[in-house]
Amino acid sequence: MDANDWLESFLFHQFTMKNASPLTLQAYRSDIIQFLGLEGVHKDGIFEVNHLMLRRYLAWLKEKEYSRRSIARKLSATRSFLFFLQGQGVIKSGRWSAVARPRQEKTLPHFLYYHEVAALLEAPASDNPLGFRDRTMLELIYSSGLRVSELVSLKPVSLQLDERLVKVYGKGNKDRIVPLGGIAAGLLEKYMDEKRPLLAARDKQGREYEELFLNRWGRPLSDRGVRYIFKKYIQQVSHKIGITPHSLRHSFATHLLERGADLRVVQELLGHASISTTQIYTHVTKERLSEVYRSAFPR
């Protein structure tokens, strides 16, 4: 087996044993190919990989001015691959952990204030199928704190509208049940009954798709398509930099905590494996309190 064969074996292992998502596997593939290409590892060259190569890769990433977050991700993926090769007896034991990831910058997630969210949700023109679909999607992301990948993978059978619940196929192939707000549930019911059939009829080959949200041609809406739609509407209502569909998820969590929700409950709603991931939102709410204090206190 050459380097490419071992890479495919590693990705299969990550998928079957670690429940890695398709997006994670895609990132792993890209990062590891970059490492192998930089070192010119071909065919039997995989047996010669050592920790010095990993150090050179780290130096090259810094020289190319990749962000700390990107460097950490690439290094993590490559080290996982090298540990896998070591476990398979392909390469000798190496000091992979000695090549430390760069210290991460502490940044708070971008979010929208409630009045900004309200303006965004009202932006789509709901008098046509596409506009109504867009309004429904935005409301659903905010109402249930969904990731874009979770949104595009939803199916009509995922919805339990009578109980105002939705079953989400989340990160790491983990399912969770999250509540739906009343407005989101009402929009979804109308979308399913009236608007989705109109979009589905646009597929010229008459195919039927399981996905809940369809594009203008009656085919499943992609992750990229959702981001394009979001960008169109956010530019109409906000001039903030760095606002993405994920910012609606951040806003969902921040607004819940501001209104007294328990951190553990928010963790479950977001599908975070660790409470430490959810705790970043407590810093957001504290920052918000400080901002209000500074703007309102007279001295």
- Give the angle subtended at the CA of 214 by the CAs of 210 and 215, to the nearest 5°: 150
Burial of 205 (0-12, 13-18, 19+ CB in 10 A): exposed
Q: Which one of 171, 196, 250, 255 is the catalytic residue?
A: 171
User: Pick from 134, 144, 136, 190: which is nearest to 164 by CA?
Assistant: 144
Q: Which one of 142, 191, 233, 281 is the catalytic residue?
A: 281
**Which residue type is seen at 143?**
S
113 is catalytic: no
Q: Which one of 135, 249, 250, 255 is the catalytic residue?
A: 249
Q: Which one of 74, 79, 133, 147 is the catalytic residue?
A: 147
CA–CA distance, 143 with 138 (Å, rounded to integer)? 8
Burial of 183 (0-12, 13-18, 19+ CB in 10 A): middle
CA–CA distance, 198 with 155 (Å, rounded to integer)? 17
- Residue appearing with tokens 């490419």: 4
Q: Which one of 51, 164, 190, 272 is the catalytic residue?
A: 272
Q: Give the DSSP H or E segment for 181.
A: none
209 is catalytic: no
251 and 111 in contact (C-beta within 8 Å)? yes
User: Pick from 126, 198, 213, 130: which is nearest to 166 by CA?
Assistant: 213
42 is catalytic: no
112 and 67 in contact (C-beta within 8 Å)? no
64 is catalytic: no
167 is catalytic: no
171 is catalytic: yes
188: tokens are 């979804």
**Which residue type is seen at 240?**
K
> Which residues are catalytically annotated?
147, 171, 246, 249, 272, 281
